[in-house]
């Protein structure tokens, strides 16, 4: 009977462990902030230096803000993370990707944009932060 209880406890622990790990990495301050500056502060970002080594591909005009494709590639050696932000969204931090050493720093995502505004890509490399921005016009807002 003790073996059965032990196995039940192990199965329950294994089922809950991934959720605890996910909760440990959730950055509430960054993802729930209502301004770009607070989101960057939540990510631990210092001053963001403009860089031409970041390629941000986004449409000039989005028919529907509910589905906007954003592509970011960092050509900065030692890229550790890429964050994508939209200044006009109720919560500006759209995504934050952390890369293992040797991973190709490239992401392609579909996001919601509330209204026309700048979309920013911020790259962390070598403890420094680099960024690029692009204006995206939105016909129909995607956040409601």
What letter would DSSP give residue 22?
H
In this structure, is residue 74 part of a structural domain? yes
In this structure, is residue 75 part of a structural domain? yes
What's the CATH number where 126 sits? 2.60.40.2470
Per the structure, the complete domain to which residue 110 belongs is given by 29-140
Give me the number of domains the chain comprises: 1
The pTM assigned to this predicted structure is 0.80
pLDDT digit string (tens) for 16-63? 555 444 444 667 888 889 999 999 999 999 899 999 999 999 999 999
DSSP 121-138: EEEEETTEEEEEEEEEEE
In this structure, is residue 136 part of a structural domain? yes
In this structure, is residue 125 part of a structural domain? yes
pLDDT digit string (tens) for 73-113? 999 999 999 999 999 999 999 999 999 988 999 999 999 99
- The whole-angstrom separation of Cα 81 and Cα 43 is 10
């Amino acid at each position: 009977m003790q073996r059965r209880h032990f196995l039940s406890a192990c199965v329950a622990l294994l089922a809950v462990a991934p959720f605890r790990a996910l909760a440990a990495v959730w950055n509430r301050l960054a993802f729930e902030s209502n301004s770009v500056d607070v989101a960057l502060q939540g990510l631990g970002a210092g001053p963001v230096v403009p860089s031409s080594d970041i390629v941000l591909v986004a449409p000039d005009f989005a028919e529907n803000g509910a589905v906007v494709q954003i592509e970011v590639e960092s050509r900065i050696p030692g890229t550790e993370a890429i964050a994508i932000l939209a200044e006009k969204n109720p919560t500006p931090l759209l995504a934050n990707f952390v890369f293992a050493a040797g991973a190709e720093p490239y992401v392609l995502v579909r996001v919601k944009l509330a209204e026309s505004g700048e979309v920013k890509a911020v790259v962390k490399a070598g403890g420094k932060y680099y960024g690029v921005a692009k204006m995206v016009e939105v016909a129909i807002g995607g956040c409601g």
